Amino acid sequence: MCQVGQAGRFGLPLESNGMELLVTGGAGFIGANYVRRTLETQPGTEIMVLDKLTYAGNATNLAGVDAELVVGDICDAGLVQGLVDKADAVVHFAAESHNDNSLDNPRPFVDTNVMGTFTLLEAVRRTGKRFHHVSTDEVFGDLALDDPNRFTETTPYNPSSPYSATKAASDHLVRAWVRSFGLRATISNCSNNYGPYQHIEKFIPRQITNILDGRTPKLYGTGLQVRDWIHVDDHNDAINLILERGRLGETYIIGADNDHVNNLQVIRLICTLMGLDENAFEHVADRPGHDMRYAMNSTKLRQELGWEPRFTSADDGMRRGLAETIEWYRDNEAWWRPLKDAVEAKCAERGQ
Q: Count the site residues for ligand DAU by CB under 6 A.
A: 19
Q: Give the Cα separation of 99 and 162 in Å (integer).
A: 7
Active site (annotated) includes residue 138:
yes
Residue 206 partner contact from ligand NAD, ligand DAU, none using kind-dependent CB cut-offs of 5 to 8 Å: ligand DAU
User: Which of 51, 73, 96, 138 is labelled catalytic?
Assistant: 138
DSSP 112: I
Active site (annotated) includes residue 163:
yes
Of 112 and 209, nearer to ligand NAD (C-beta) is 112
CA distances from 12 to 21, 131, 141, 253 (A): 18, 20, 35, 21
> 324-331 long-range contacts, Cβ below 8 Å, gap at least 24?
324/195, 325/194, 325/195, 325/196, 325/198, 325/204, 325/205, 325/208, 326/208, 326/270, 326/273, 326/274, 328/195, 328/196, 329/196, 329/205, 329/208, 329/209, 329/212, 330/212
Among the listed ranges 82-90, 220-228, 249-257, 337-345, the one in contact with ligand DAU (CB under 6 A) is 220-228
User: Which of 96, 137, 257, 259 is labelled catalytic?
Assistant: 137
- CA neighbours closer than 13 Å in the CB half-sphere of residue 245: 19
Does 137 participate in binding ligand DAU (rule CB under 6 A)? yes
User: Which of 73, 96, 163, 237 is labelled catalytic?
Assistant: 163
Q: In the bound complex, what is the minimum distance in angstroms from residue 240's beta carbon to ligand NAD?
A: 14
Of 64 and 156, nearer to ligand DAU (C-beta) is 156
Q: In the bound complex, what is the minimum distance in angstroms from residue 24's beta carbon to ligand NAD?
A: 6
Per-residue burial over 14-28, b if 16 or more Cβ lie within 10 Å, else e, is bebeebebbbbbbbb
Does 98 participate in binding ligand DAU (rule CB under 6 A)? yes
Active site (annotated) includes residue 137:
yes
Q: Give the Cα separation of 232 and 236 in Å (integer).
A: 6
How many other CB atoms sit within 10 Å of the CB of residue 77?
15
Does 266 participate in binding ligand NAD (rule CB under 6 A)? no
CA 53 to chain centre: 16
Q: Restricting to residues 245-264, name those near ligand DAU by CB under 6 A.
A: 263
Among the listed ranges 36-44, 48-56, 96-104, 334-342, the one in contact with ligand DAU (CB under 6 A) is 96-104
Q: Count the site residues for ligand NAD by CB under 6 A.
A: 31
**Closest chain position to ligand NAD (CB):** 28
CA distances from 338 to 100, 112, 199, 228 (A): 20, 25, 12, 30
Q: In the bound complex, what is the minimum distance in angstroms from residue 98's beta carbon to ligand DAU?
A: 5
Q: According to CB under 6 A, which one of 45, 58, 99, 166 is a site residue for ligand DAU?
A: 99
Does 297 participate in binding ligand DAU (rule CB under 6 A)? no
Q: Give the Cα separation of 313 and 48 in Å (integer).
A: 34
Site of interaction with ligand NAD (CB under 6 A): 24-25, 27-31, 50-54, 56-57, 73-75, 93-97, 112, 116, 134, 136, 167, 190, 192-193, 199
Residues making contact with ligand DAU (CB under 6 A): 97-99, 136-138, 191-192, 202-203, 206, 218-220, 225, 227, 263, 287, 294
Residues with a known catalytic role:
137-138, 163
